[in-house]
Structure 1
Amino acid sequence: MIRYPSLSKPIRVGVTAPSSGLHLDEHPFLEEAVYRMESKGYHFKIGQTCWTQYKAKSAPAEVRAAELNSMLQDDSLQLIFPPWGGELLIEILGLIDFENIKPKWILGYSDISVLLLAMTLKTGIATAHGPNLVDLRGQTSDPTTAMWEKVLSTKVGEEIIQYPSELYQLRWQHDYVTDWIYHLTEPTKWKTINNTPIHIKGRLLGGCIDVIRHLIGTPFGDIGRFQKKYINNEPIIWYLENCELTVTDLRRSLIQMKLAGWFERCSGILFGRSNANETVNDYHVLDVYMELAEELNVPIAYDMDCGHLPPQLTFINGAYAEVRIYNNNGNMVKQIFM
């Protein structure tokens, strides 16, 4: 059975940087996000790793793991909320004390998705793929981003529905400040192969494919064990987003996932928007999606609200989900905590 953490007020948040911390000139990003959330009644415990960044990481692996382990075992914390992602979270996986974790939400994306997916696969504890803490430093949040609170407040046995955003952000403009941080200018449209409507059900798993692919073949990426032990071999809906891969590297990564058995009993795949997916010769990302759909014989959707072109939905690893995409109206992702 999947174990779902719960939130109850007052909510105390642990902030640690298991991947990248912040350079000195970036400290205001975190300070402002904490200020905004404190004004809404949240309380914080902020780790030392958040304030440092050296050689592509917040601190040596042992230091990052020790701070994370401390927060994972702290009964007073209900949510662990890293400031943002980074590059080298995978260095600490072997140092995490998975046996003594007190169930609590972990929320984030990008490199944080390595921790999220490994945590759920190893322990059966649900984890949340959604905004990073610094994304919440604006005066308000757009409706899609703001749903993270409602999703994490969902109780066992309840359901939560999320819908497509109206607009998404094509590029960052840090010198142009908005009330909600993002610069939402482009119309959102969830798409499917050949515009075929899809209606799929299964357990959600996923993250940033650039980094979660490196769990393949490790004790932290055993999909078969997870399926048998925690979800009674129910089908899986994968959500995947590409941060920096060319289409050929994306294709290689998906083939590796297939060969490793990650797509066995898969009911569908949701690909997030990406400004990577660089075409190689005349090989396009749509070719990748179409080939994969044919090989796996599963429906595939793309340009979903997920990943590095915000805003994004909050996906719960391990949750039962129902996804409907009709290309016009009625598009939605329903998650049930069961």
Structure 2
Amino acid sequence: MIEYPLLKKNATIGVTAPSSGVEPELHDMFKQACTRMREKGYQVECGKTVWTQIKAKSASAEKRAAEFNKMIQDENIDMIIPPWGGELLMEILSKLDFTSIPAKWILGYSDTSVLLLSITLKTGIATAHGTNLVDLRGDYSDKTTAMWENVLSAEDGDSIIQYSSEKFQKEWDHENPSPHVFHLTEETVWKTVSDEDVLVKGRLLGGCIDVIRHLIGTPYGNVRDFQKNTISGEPILWYFENCDMPTTDLKRTLIQMKLAGWFDNCTGIMFGRSSANYSVEGYHVQDVYRELESELNVPIIYDVDCGHVPPQMTFVNGAYAKVKVDNGNGRVEQWLLS
């Protein structure tokens, strides 16, 4: 069964960097995010790893794991939000104490999704794929991103509805900072391979496909065991987002996932918008999606609000979800069901 944490009012947020920390020249930007959270009534406790970054990581694997273990077990810290993702979170998995992880929300995306998915698969504790802390530094928050609080403050058994965004950000414009952080200029359209409206249901699992693929074949990526023993054989509804893989690498990854049994008893797959998905010799991402739908015989939905092209919804790993695409609009209802 799935265990759901609960975000309390005036909660204390622990900020640790299990992947990348914040370079000195970006400290002020990150401090803005901490200030905004305090203005919203949260307490914020930052670990030492947040403020350092060398050789593609915030600190050694030992230091990162020790700080995470300490924060997750600290009774005075209610939830954990890393500053952002990075590259080498995989280094710390073998050093984490999965037997002592209590039910606290962990929120983030990108490389953080390695931590999120492995915790849900190993422990049955729900985790939240959504905004990074640094993206909450604006004076305001767009409606899609802001839903993280509604989702994480829902109680066991509740359902939460999120709708697709009206517009998304095509590219960053750091020379003209927005009070919402993002520059939402392009019309959002959720698409399906079939070009028809789609309704899919299942237990949500997923993350940044570039990195969670490396859980395959390890003790931290046993989807079959999770499906059999934690969700009693219920079908899985996958969501993925591609950070920087070309289409051929994406296809190889999806084949590996299929061969590893990740798509056994799967009801559908959602793909987030991506600035990657680089075509190779005329092989486009739409070709990948069409082939995947044909091979698995399940609906493929793409360009959803998830990942590195903001804004993004908050998807709860382990929650039961019903996803509807109707004339380019998306509706996601999640039930926090054990």
TM-score by length of 2: 0.99
Between the aligned partners of 1:68 and 1:2, the Cα distance in structure 2 is: 22
- Matched residue type, 1:119: I
**Which residue in the other structure is 1:332 paired with?**
331
Q: CA deviation at 1:10?
A: 2.3
Query: Unaligned regions of 5+ residues in structure 1, if any?
Result: none
Between the aligned partners of 1:98 and 1:328, the Cα distance in structure 2 is: 40
**Which residue in the other structure is 1:194 paired with?**
194
Between the aligned partners of 1:328 and 1:225, the Cα distance in structure 2 is: 35
CA contact (8 A) 1:74 1:102 kept: no
Between the aligned partners of 1:109 and 1:334, the Cα distance in structure 2 is: 20
Between the aligned partners of 1:310 and 1:147, the Cα distance in structure 2 is: 13
Between the aligned partners of 1:112 and 1:279, the Cα distance in structure 2 is: 26
Query: Unaligned regions of 5+ residues in structure 2, if any?
Result: none
CA contact (8 A) 2:190 2:328 kept: no
- Matched residue type, 1:244: D
- Matched residue type, 1:140: Y
Between the aligned partners of 2:96 and 2:327, the Cα distance in structure 1 is: 42
Q: CA deviation at 1:327?
A: 2.1
Q: CA deviation at 1:171?
A: 1.0
**Which residue in the other structure is 1:72 paired with?**
72
CA deviation profile, 1:109-141 (whole Å, cap 9, x unmatched): 000000000000000000000000000000010
CA contact (8 A) 2:244 2:277 kept: yes
- Matched residue type, 1:182: F
Match of 2:207, SS state, is strand
CA contact (8 A) 1:195 1:327 kept: no
Superposed CA RMSD in Å reads 0.7
Match of 1:184, SS state, is coil
**Which residue in the other structure is 2:118 paired with?**
118
- Matched residue type, 2:170: L
How many residues are treated as equivalent by the alignment?
Answer: 337
Q: Which runs of 4+ in 1 moved over 6 A?
A: none
**Which residue in the other structure is 1:105 paired with?**
105
Between the aligned partners of 2:9 and 2:280, the Cα distance in structure 1 is: 51
Between the aligned partners of 1:35 and 1:109, the Cα distance in structure 2 is: 21
TM-score by length of 1: 0.99
CA contact (8 A) 1:322 1:333 kept: yes
Between the aligned partners of 1:31 and 1:328, the Cα distance in structure 2 is: 37
Task: Show the 5 A alignment for 1:196-235.
Answer: 196-235=196-235
- Matched residue type, 1:213: R
Match of 2:185, SS state, is strand
Task: Show the 5 A alignment for 1:1-338.
Answer: 1-328=1-328, 331-338=330-337
Between the aligned partners of 2:146 and 2:52, the Cα distance in structure 1 is: 28
Q: CA deviation at 1:328?
A: 4.5
Match of 2:13, SS state, is strand
CA deviation profile, 1:166-213 (whole Å, cap 9, x unmatched): 000011122211101101110000000131211111000000000000
% identical aligned pairs: 61
Between the aligned partners of 1:275 and 1:262, the Cα distance in structure 2 is: 25
